[in-house]
Amino acid sequence: MGSTTDRRSARAGAVGHLSLAAEARFVEGASLQSQVLGLGLRHTVRPLLDLWTRLPFDLFPPNLLEHAARLLPVQEGTSWRTVDLARCGSELVLAQDVRDIHGGNPKVILYFHGGAFLTCGLNTHRRLVSRISDASGQPVLNVGYRQMPYEPIAESVADGVDAFRWLLDQGYRAEDVTITGDSAGGYLAFSVARAVLDAGLGRPAGVVAISPLLDVDATRKRQHRNADRCQTFPLRALEKFTEVSLRMDTRRGIHGQRTCPVDMPLEDMPPALIQIGSREILLADAEHMAARLVQAGVPVDLQVWDRQVHVFQAAASWVPEARAAIEEIGDFVTGLSAQQAQAPEQDTVAAPRRRSSRRTGVAAV
C-alpha cells in the first residue's frame, strides 16, 4: 500500500465513469458482511418504520440517534471545528493530512447528512464524512441543517445555500465546491446546486448523491420493481413521509412552490455521481434522475451496487463494498479537480479509467 498522498496522486486523472448514455454501472458482488447487515436491517429498522406508519397520529421522537452518535469514533487523525451559519450549526471536517483553504487547499466538499429530514445530524455522519475527506483529500463542510417537524424542507435548502455562501466567503470558488449528500441529503445536494445556480453564485464542480431521495411523491416508487424488496424502507414509510412533508408545507403556508430534484431544470447542472443499492426502493428515483440528466446532456455516473443496503457507505468500518464505494467518490471528486486544471474552460468530462478490482456490468436505466 502506498501513502495517502500517493493514492490521491494516482487518482488525479479519474472522473468516475461519467456517461452521456442512459446506462447504469452495476457493481457486482455482496460480501457476507453486507448480507448480514441487510438481514439485520430487514428485521429491525424496517419493522419499526412500518409500525411508525400505522400510528394514527404523527410521532416525532427526540433525535436519539444524533445524541448517541457522539460516542462513535472517527478515523485516526481526523479533526473538525465548529462553523456557525446564519440559522444552523455545521462543522468543517478534515481527515489526517488534509488541509483547508488556509493551508493551501482550494478544493472543498459541501455535505448534507441523511435522515429523512427528521433525524440524524453532524454526530451520526462524522465518521462517513471523515472517510470521504480522506478519499478525496479535501475538507468537508458537514451541515447541520434545520429539519422537520420544526422547519419544512424549503428551510433545509435555504441552510444549504447559506453554507455554500459561507464557503465562498472563505475564499473558495463555486467551481471548486463539490456538493454531496446521502438519502435526504442527496435531495439537498441537487436542490442546493440548483438554488446556487439560480442565485447567480456560480456553478459547483459536481454533485454526489448517495442513496438519494429525489422525489417526495411516492408514486414512481410504488410502481417500481423494488417496491417491496428494500431491506430498510417499506413503501408505507415513503408514503407517510410524503404526507408529513406536505402537511408541514401547508402549516407554513407553502403551496405548490416546492420542486423536487427529479423535476428541476437540469441543462446547466454540473456532472453527477449517484450511488444506490440494487434492491433499494429509492432506485426508482436514481434511475429517473440519471435518465433526465442524460437527456439534458449532463455527464452522470449511476452506480448500482449489488444487494447493498441504504447508505451502505456508512458501514465502511465493516463492509468492504462501502470502502470501495467511498474510494469511487474520491475518484470522482479528485477527477473533477484534475479535469478543471487541465481544461478549465471546458464543460465536458474526459473519459476515465475503469477500476479493475471489482467486476462491473452495464444495465439499462
Active-site positions read 183, 280, 310
By C-alpha distance, which of 123, 122, 119, 121 is closest to 148?
119
3-state secondary structure of 246: helix
Residue located via cell numbers 501513502: 3
Are residues 152 and 123 in contact, defined by beta-carbon separation less than 8 angstroms?
no
Could you give the CA distance from residue 290 to residue 234 in angstroms, rounded to a whole number?
A: 23
Q: Is the dihedral of CA 349, 350, 353, 359 positive or negative?
A: positive
The neighbour count for residue 77, using CB atoms within 10 Å, is 13
Paired with 25 in beta bridges are: 303, 362
By C-alpha distance, which of 188, 194, 243, 245 is closest to 212?
188
Provide Rg for the chain, Cα atoms: 19
Are residues 282 and 256 in contact, defined by beta-carbon separation less than 8 angstroms?
no
